[in-house]
Structure formats: structure tokens, C-alpha cells
Amino acid sequence: MSIVSMRRATLIGSRRYKRDVLRQLQAAGVAHVDTRNLSSGEPHRDHVQLLEALDYLLACPQRRRLHWPDSRPELRPLLREIHDNRSQREQIQDRLTLLHRHRQELLPWGEFEFPEFDAIGGQRFWFYLVPLGQRHAVTDIALPWVVVNRDHRQLYLVVISPTEPAPEQVPFERSHTGGLSLRAMNAEETSLQAELEQLDAERYLLTQWIRYLAGQVAQASNADALGQVERASHDDDDLFVLEAWVPADRIPALESLCEVSRAALVHRPPEPGEEPPILLDNPEWAAGGEEALKFFQLPGYRSWDPSMMLFFSFSLFFAVILADAGYALAGGLLCLLARPRWKHSRTGRRLGNLGLSMFGVSLIYGVVVGSYFGVTPPADSWLDRLHWLDMDDFGTMMTLSIAVGVLHLILANAIAGWYARPRWRALGYLGWVAMLACGFLLWRSTQQTIPAPLFDTPWPYGLIAGALLVLGFSSEAPFDTWRHRLEHLTGGLTSLAELTQAFGNALSYMRLFALGLSSASLAVTFNQLALQARDGLDGGGTLAFLMILLLGHVLNFALALMGGVVHGLRLNLIEFLRWGVHGEGRPYRAFANKEESTWIK
């Protein structure tokens, strides 16, 4: 686990060959070019149409087998055909939605057809909704009327009049039924459904061009990226200069590129005031921690990579909150069943490995606490011999949770101090390690049956020594002048003020025990409810037993998953990173060609 070392590279070449050099640089994919201050402008209309067409075909529920046809169509007619298919489908779906809504409004009025206007002497039908509370007012209407239906809320009233009645004549809300009957709407809906099926069949046939369109989108994206990098270079009449960040191990590849592309290369390490982009290097089996870390923030370039620590600690915290071997087996099985879907992408493989680690550690912890879907193994069984922790021992479990929290914070400061050496700032981190460790041990000594006198133990002295280290060495400044020493003292006072926050952060790890206990208690409760239903019901007891078990444990499993993910990430990404990682970096994004496969989901 490490943050990849970067070099500041400067390419210098003839402006005449600038585009060729940048194309070769894009093909190599080794450089990060800063284009943050450049306006990307409005995307090209053809690019937008390509993306819309590709997204439309990718959203098709069924696709043809992807292949490279021998003959490919012209791009513009193909885009026009896809656009027409999409527009017609949207229009038909909108009309079907309106018909469905209108039919629901018309159903209470029943099946009817409006007669010809002249056939009824110029009379018209007016439809009104009458609340049940006002039904007695219907008898006061002087015009001809009839109630054709009623439900639990209102009456459906039809009034006959050549013109719309005034509110004084019919004081109710009018219903606009339109001119279509139910029979006509059903016929139109049937016709529209047939047209929609035809369009769906055409869309299915068009999915054979997904790979072709993905390649066109990739080419358009590459062209846009190339144009941005061209604008990022500094040009004069004869030369161009392009500055980029390059991983140190890719410098030889860049030097080889410059030898054949008529460009000169100068590179140097980052200067103290510069912040290179962050590229993390982790083994693939543990890189799920890197993905979770990037979701929150990247560390600063001069900090350290906590991905591996997050991988293991998140798995442990999730296990403590899940606290059941049966749930761990069920979750691990779901991960394995989902593997064919997530193994196709690099991020999916990484997060899948993290999920397997989480449920693997949960299985071990569930065996240790002796919980299998809320059932404790029988006494003297081989599973009972592996039951080492009792969830009902509140004192031990609370102490263990706080100990895990203190150890987590100690590791954060210890690793940060290791990476801060040989600067004086490392002693400040060491001071926090001493204060956290001695504070916890001092608290434990006061919990003994016969507490020892306070200053007969070494822990108060360790607390004082740690506080002095924090007070004197909590600044990044050197220790050579009185001004810098005063900065250390000021920084130390500010840092010591965070002692209450350290205390609160350590206690926040009690949520591990609290959530784990609630998960285990809910599992036991659902088991008891299921047994009571089985024994208390004469008929259907077995069915109620199975339903309560199934629904109860599914609900508890979902709650435990949510709590394990949310609170496990919180303890790592807020408490741990706050003490161990300083600064925030920006991601390394290589100036590279995109493959068409990246657009095929």
C-alpha cells in the first residue's frame, strides 16, 4: 500500500508536430495533464447524439449478440433511425399513460357513448362529483339529473342541460370525462401496444450496433480530451511546452516516446508547494479498501495510504455489528452468486473481494460469539467449544469495544508519526499514542476491585509525558528559531484542546457493541415469536412459524447490513482518517485513449 511517487514532466517540441506528439502521449496513457482551469465548453452536438443513442440501446432489456459486422452502416442515418425509434416509443408511452389515467377516471361512470348532438334536441351531459356529505343537496337541483354510481367517498352525478349549469344551479365539482368511451380507449390502447411491440422489435435489432456506436463514442471522447490538452499547452510561434504529472516508474516509457516523437523531456520531483495528483498502489485482493477510501476522500500526497488498514478494520467492524455466523454465511453466498455480474469491471472485482472479506471475518466472529441465526450451539458441542465471547456480558463487551477504538486511534497516530519522521512533527503523533494508551490503561486500573493509588501506576506519568510531546511538537515548522518554537507551542495548545474529541471518538466505538447486541437480540426475539406462534396456534402454526422466521430474519439481516456498512465506514472514514491522515488529494487521471468496451455496460 503506497502513494505512487510522481515526477513533474515538461515536454518541449516543435509546434508543427504538436498534434502528433500529443496523440502518441494519449496512446501511451502515462501522463496526468491539469485541465481544471480550462472550460470544456458545450459538448459537440454529434457527441451528444452518439451518447444518447448508445444509452438508449444499452437500456434495451434484451440485446443481440455483440459482434463486428462485416458491413457497417453510415453513422448519421443510423443515429437518425435510433432517434426516430426512441421518439416514437416515448410518444406512444406518453399516450398510453394518459389513456390509463383517463380510463381510471372514467371507469366509475360506466360504459357509454355520447349520442349525436341533434338526436337529443341540443341537450348536453354534464358530469359532477358529489361528496357523500353533500348528497342531500342533489334533490335541490332543478335540472334533469341522475346518479349513475357511488363509492365510499362520492356520488357520480349526470345533469342534462343545453349549456353548462351555473354554480348556483349545480354547486359541485365538475368531472371532465372527455369524448372517448371505454370501448374506444381499449381499442386505441390495443393498437398502440401493437405499435410499441413493433418498435421494441426494431430496437432489439438495432442493438447489434452497440459495439460500433461505443467505438464511435470512444473516438469522440478521445478527440475532446485531445483538444483540451492542446489548449493546456503553452505555445509560441515555433515551440509548444506541455507540463504534466507522470508516475516515477513510467518515466522510462515517456523517455522512449520522446525519442521517437521529436520532443524533449525534462522531469523533476515535486517542489514543497506543489500538490501532485494521487495514484494509489494496492494489491488487487485488498484494493476494495482503496475504493471505499476514494468514495470519501483521497489522502494528501505527503501523507500515507490507509487503504489496507481500512480493508481490514472495516471487515472487523462490520463483523462485530453483524454478530451472527448464519447471517455471514447467507451474505457470503449472496456475494458468490453475484460474482458473475461484478467480476467484469475492476471496481466490481475489488468491491466483491471486500464483500467476501467482510462476510468471512463475520463468519469467524459469529462462531466466536456463538450465534447462528440467533441460536446458541448446544452445550459441550464442538461449536460450543469455539464460543469464547458472551454477548450478554455487557462489561466485557463494552470494554472490548472501547479497547478496539483506542487501538484504532493509536494505530492512526502511530502510522502518521512513522510517515512524518524525521521531522519534529512525528514526536507530536507519538505524544498522542502515549496519551491514548496510558489514558485507557489508567481507566482500566480504576475498574479493578481494589483500585491502586493513582500515582503508584506508571499511566499518569505516561499521560503527562504524552501531553508534553503534543504541546511541544504539533507543528510542521522546523525547530530552529524562537518564532518556529512559538508556532510549535501554539499548535500544541490547539492540539491539546482536542483531548475531549479524542475521548468522544474513543467512546463512539461503543456503537460496535450496541449494534451487534441489537442484531443478536432481534434474531433471538424473532425465534421466540416464531416458536410461540407454532405452539399457540391450532391450525396454521407451522406456516406462521416459517413466515415469522423468514420475514423476521430477512428484516434483521437487512438492518444489520445497513448498520454494518454505514457505521463501519463512519468509524474508518471519520474517526480514523481524522487522526491519521492529513490533507486531501485529487485523483490521478491519465491522459489516455478510452476503449469502446468502457462504454458497454
Phi, psi of 328 (to 5 degrees): -65, -40
Cα Rg of the chain, angstroms: 36
User: In the prediction, which pLDDT does 544 show?
Assistant: 87
Give the DSSP letter string of 504-559. HHHHTTHHHHHHHHHHHHHHHHHHHHHHHHHHH-SSSHHHHHHHHHHHHHHHHHHH
Supply the DSSP string of 319-335, one letter for each residue: HHHH--HHHHHHHHHHH
Q: What average pLDDT does the segment 534-541 reach?
A: 78
Please tell me the predicted confidence (pLDDT) of residue 189.
92
User: What's the CA gap between 315 and 285, in Å, rounded?
Assistant: 13
When pLDDT is cut at 50, 70 and 90, the band that residue 196 belongs to is: very high
Measured CA to CA, the distance from residue 581 to residue 564 in angstroms comes to 23
Q: Which residues pair with 2 in a beta bridge?
A: 281
Answer yes or no: is pLDDT of 365 > 90.
yes
Cell of 462: 505516561
Helix axes 394-420, 307-322, angle to 10 degrees: 170
Indicate the pLDDT class of residue 429, thresholds 50, 70 and 90. confident
Is pLDDT above 80 for 165? Answer: yes
Q: What is the pLDDT of residue 110?
A: 87
Could you give the CA distance from residue 469 to residue 473 in angstroms, rounded to a whole number?
6
At residue 353, the 3 state secondary structure works out as helix
Distance CA 21, CA 230 (A): 10
Q: What is the mean pLDDT of residues 17-42?
A: 81
> CA dist 547 to 230, 444, 523, 530, 555, Å?
65, 46, 14, 8, 12
Cβ atoms of residues 275 and 585 within 8 Å: yes
Contacts of 177 (CB under 8 A, 6+ apart): 105, 106, 109, 127
* Weakest-pLDDT range from 49-53, 168-172, 381-385: 381-385
What is the C-alpha to C-alpha distance for residues 266 and 35, in angstroms, rounded to an integer?
A: 20
SS3 262: coil
Determine the Cα–Cα distance for residues 77 and 537; give it in Å rounded to an integer. 69
The grid coordinates of residue 565 equal: 456498512
Average pLDDT on 2-11 reads 91
Q: How far apart are the first and last CA of the chain?
A: 30
Taking only the tens place, the pLDDT of each residue in 550-581 is 999 999 999 999 999 999 888 888 888 888 88
Angstrom distance (rounded) from CA 284 to CA 117: 78
Share of the chain above pLDDT 70, in %: 95
Q: Which of 381-385, 514-518, 584-588 has the lowest mean pLDDT?
A: 381-385
d(CA 281, CA 2): 5
b/e per residue, 500-510, with b = 16+ CB within 10 A?
Answer: eebeebbebbb
Which tens digits make up the pLDDT trace of 438-493?
A: 988 888 887 766 666 666 778 888 888 988 888 887 777 666 677 767 776 787 78
Find, among 12, 11, 16, 21, the residue nearest to 238 by Cα.
16
Q: Is the pLDDT of residue 378 over 80?
A: yes
For position 455, what pLDDT does the model report?
A: 67
Q: Tell me which of 446 and 374 has the higher pLDDT.
A: 374
Q: Which helix (H) or strand (E) element contains residue 71?
A: none
Average pLDDT, the chain: 87
Span 287-309, average pLDDT: 87
Nearest CA to 587 out of 290, 385, 349, 372 is that of 290
Mean pLDDT, residues 231-236: 87
CA 69/CA 73 separation, integer angstroms: 10
| Torsion angle (degrees, nearest 10) of CA 85, 87, 93, 95 | -130
pLDDT digits (tens, 9 = 90+) for 579-595: 888 778 889 999 998 88
Contact assessment for residue 262 and residue 14, using Cβ atoms and an 8 Å cutoff:
yes
Q: For the residues 217-227, what does the mean pLDDT come to?
A: 87
pLDDT at 272 over 90: no
**Which 8-state DSSP code applies to residue 447?**
T
Other C-beta atoms lying within 10 Å of the C-beta of residue 464: 13
Say if residue 531's pLDDT is above 70.
yes
| Grid cell of 291 as nine digits | 475504493
Question: Residue 391 pLDDT more than 90?
Answer: no
pLDDT digits (tens, 9 = 90+) for 90-127: 999 999 999 998 888 888 888 888 888 778 888 889 99
- Calpha distance 510→399 (Å, rounded): 9
pLDDT at 313 (0 to 100): 92
- pLDDT for the residue numbered 594: 85
pLDDT by residue (tens digit) across 63-98?
Answer: 888 777 677 788 889 999 999 999 999 999 999 999
